Chain A
Amino acid sequence: MSAIEHPRPMPNGAGLFDLPTELAIDTDVARRVIAEFIRGQLRQAGFERAVVGLSGGIDSALVAYLVAEAIGAERLLCLMLPYRTSAASSQGDAETVIEHLGCAGDMIEISSMVDAYFGWADTGLVGAAGAEGLTASALRRGNVMARIRMTVLYDRSVTWGGLVVGTSNKTESLIGYTTLFGDSASALNPIGDLYKSQVRQVAAAVGVPETIIRKAPSADLWPGQTDETEAGFTYPELDRLLFWLVDRRRSPEELEAKGFAPERIEWALKAVAGSEFKRQVAPVAKLGPRTAGVDYLYPRRRPGSART
């Protein structure tokens, strides 16, 4: 990890981002737990290497730094998977991460795969989805892009001989701002219990470049899109609301008494309940005497489960 230049310590995110007091965590402990988690998961699965899809954003950048910290950059492959309309700055930021870490990196443009499905609106050339695909919504296109990235990550995980490490954070998972079997798909997720504000805090601690920490979070589905304008929330505000609702078990009435706006509370409750399905494995119809996930309960990493 000597290649990484550590910025001056900013325990409260001073100057870089807004960190609500109740969300501040001990980043030393977090890094220690996460490093053990990554090493433990890989060892128990019989792997020594990992693959991370780098978007240029803070979540995947942080995961890359954490994986490098846990197992060494030489065991990490970072894949950049841009579509042709993806922001050039995202690409540049992803390249900076690879450069800083000194890990293996590769770029696979997914445009031809996405276009082969939806077609080419500019020329009217139809793709596998037929004429209807030409007018597909940004949401559908975004979901397909996320799932194609997943497909590539899992394919390259075979040739690299590593596990796919997830990059979804707790905030987006709780409000369902993820694509099922897309960006939410992974073999293990080291940051899934960190709110976006905490992602920023840990990112600052491990030395993720400031430009990446500073920039507005975006799904980068169209130029200028940002998470916060779409949700109508700032992340520190949403993180606080979710923290008090989920972690501290406050009722909607109690949240209102804490000063959260009723319409924000209502929006969050709906978003959390409405995305419950994304956070759980699909239910299996119970028919036999013993059913996986119901009354056949084993640890994922049980004896004999490791690849040999």
Chain B
Amino acid sequence: VQPLRIALAQIAPRLGLLDENLARHHALIGQARTGGAGLVVFPELGLTGYLLQDLAAEVAMRLDDPRLLELAGATAGEGPAALSAIVSFVEESADHRLFIAVALLEDGRVRHVQRKLFLPTYGLFDERRFFAAGDLLRATPSRLGVGVGLSVCEDFWHLGVPQMLALDGAQLLVNVSSSPGRDLAALNEVGLGTATSWRTLLRTYAQLTTSFVVFVNRVGVDESISFWGGSEVIGPNGDAAFSAPLYDEGLYFVDVDLADVRRERIALPLLRDERLELAVRELGRIVKERAGQADDSTAEPGSQPGLDVAAR
């Protein structure tokens, strides 16, 4: 496990302009390499822009798309010239479902793909209307020497995601986002409610999973919404190693010592002490209760199986 230089590509993708965004990615991978980075991370839908609506089908790529393979090819290199890149795009499956996907590219190929699991469809979000949700959550080994756990924006608003990735072997949790900024109330810690919430989550997850958390959020404007950037790297003790400015586009370099994970996990063996079988057992019970296949311990007496209020 080596010291690692991470490049955070806090960019403003152009909406629906795949070729232009691909060119930008190629250029930034080059800059990251020149800057000595071993890993460069791009934001959610960095290759397409976020608010696509019906454009989603027009910018979708299959995993065998030559443009994606060419981008993966840009990660190949001898010795220090090799690097890993995490990129995000609209993925079309063979059966023509569209996913928001994030991929780890390294050694010139697509090493791992994670489809977005949680598609927010409430408030200002309408993702489920246009996209299918992924069904798999897997950590992946990497040339970086540690397991990597990929996730996309809203996935990190579900507690189980960072926990499962860490338990599956990830020591580096990466969340790529297109988070729309909102709530400018003056009482917010950093002047933006969204940023305050995210900063709390990232520190908490890093601490509870004793892992590095890398968060890359885009900047720029799609229609009414502005994306706030504020990309961060949080160490396994919950302290921020780096916080990018809000709203400023840039390629930010951060040096981390991946050996911090070992030190933290020895000192604070939270993952060692996790009770997976307990979680599986209780979750299994809750699933059965919801399906009406077992008595619901918290339902009103006399309620129908699967319902929690007794009809009168």
What is the bound-complex CA distance between A8 and B17, given in angstroms? 44
Task: Knowing A26-B192, A29-B191, say if A301 contacts B55 (CB, 8 Å).
Answer: no
Query: Knowing that A25-B185, A299-B15 are A-B contacts, what are 12 other residue pairs whose CB atoms are under 8 Å apart, sorted by A's residue number?
Result: A25-B186, A26-B192, A28-B191, A29-B181, A36-B220, A39-B221, A40-B226, A298-B55, A299-B52, A300-B223, A301-B222, A301-B223
Complex CA gap A299/B223 in Å reads: 7
| 17 A-B pairs in the complex with CB atoms less than 8 angstroms apart | A11-B186, A22-B185, A24-B185, A25-B184, A26-B192, A29-B181, A33-B184, A33-B226, A37-B224, A37-B226, A41-B221, A298-B53, A299-B55, A299-B223, A301-B223, A303-B16, A303-B55
A303 to B15, CA, bound (A): 7
B51 on the interface (CB 8 Å rule)?
A: yes
Q: How far is the CA of A294 from the CA of B223 in the complex (A)?
A: 18
Query: Known contacts being A22-B185, A30-B184, A33-B247, is A299 close to B221, with CB within 8 Å?
Result: no
When A297-B53, A299-B52, A299-B55 are in contact, do A36 and B221 touch as well, CB less than 8 Å? yes
Which size bracket describes the interface of B in this complex? 20 to 34
Q: Which of A24, A28, A40, A302 has a CB less than 8 Å from the CB of B221?
A: A40
Contact, CB under 8 Å: B226 / A36: yes
- Interface hits, B202-221 → A, CB 8 Å: 219-221
Q: Is the CB of B247 within 8 A of A36?
A: yes
A299 to B56, alpha carbons, bound, how many Å?
11
A267–chain B nearest beta-carbon distance, Å: 26
State whether A29 touches B192 (Cβ < 8 A).
yes
- CB of A302 within 8 A of CB of B184, answer no
Asked if residues B54 and A32 are in contact (CB atoms below 8 Å), the reply is no
Query: B71 interface residue, CB < 8 Å from A?
Result: no
Which of chain B's residues have a CB closer than 8 A to the CB of A30? 184
Chain A residues, CB < 8 A from B293: none
Q: Which residues of the other chain, A, contact B54 by a CB distance below 8 angstroms?
A: 296-298
Residues of A near B246 (CB, < 8 A) are 29, 32
CB-CB < 8 A to A186: which residues of B? none
Which A3-38 residues have C-beta < 8 A from chain B? 11, 22, 24-26, 28-30, 32-33, 36-37
Question: Contact: B15 with A26, CB < 8 Å?
Answer: no
A303 cross-chain contacts in B, Cβ below 8 A: 15-17, 55
Which chain A residues numbered 281 to 302 have a C-beta less than 8 Å away from chain B? 296-302
Contacts of A24 in B (CB 8 A): 185-187
* In the complex, A44 has a CB within 8 A of chain B: yes
A26 near B226 (CB under 8 angstroms)? Answer: no
Q: Please measure, in the bound complex, the distance between the C-alpha atom of A95 and the C-alpha atom of B309, giving whole angstroms.
A: 66
Contacts of A28 in B (CB 8 A): 191
Q: Is B93 an interface residue (CB 8 A)?
A: no
> Which 7 residue pairs across A and B have the least CB separation, nearest first?
A40-B221, A26-B191, A25-B184, A24-B186, A29-B191, A297-B53, A303-B16
A26 pairs with B221, CB closer than 8 A: no
Contact residues, B228-249 vs A (CB, 8 A):
246-247
Bound together, the chains give a CA A39 to CA B220 distance in angstroms of: 10
Does chain A have a CB within 8 A of B188?
yes
Q: Residue among A11, A25, A41 with the most chain B CB within 10 A? A: A25
Please give the distance in Å from B186's CB to the nearest CB on chain A: 4
Q: Please, which residue of chain B has its CB at the minimum distance from the CB of A302?
A: B16
Determine whether the beta carbon of B53 is less than 8 Å from that of A299.
Answer: yes
Question: Within the complex, what minimum Cβ distance (angstroms) separates A158 from chain B?
Answer: 24
Q: Inside 8 A of A299's CB, which chain B residues have their CB? A: 15-16, 51-53, 55, 222-223
Chain A residues, CB < 8 A from B186: 11, 24-26
Against B, the Cβ 8 Å flags (1 = close, 0 = not) of A36-51 are 1101110010000000
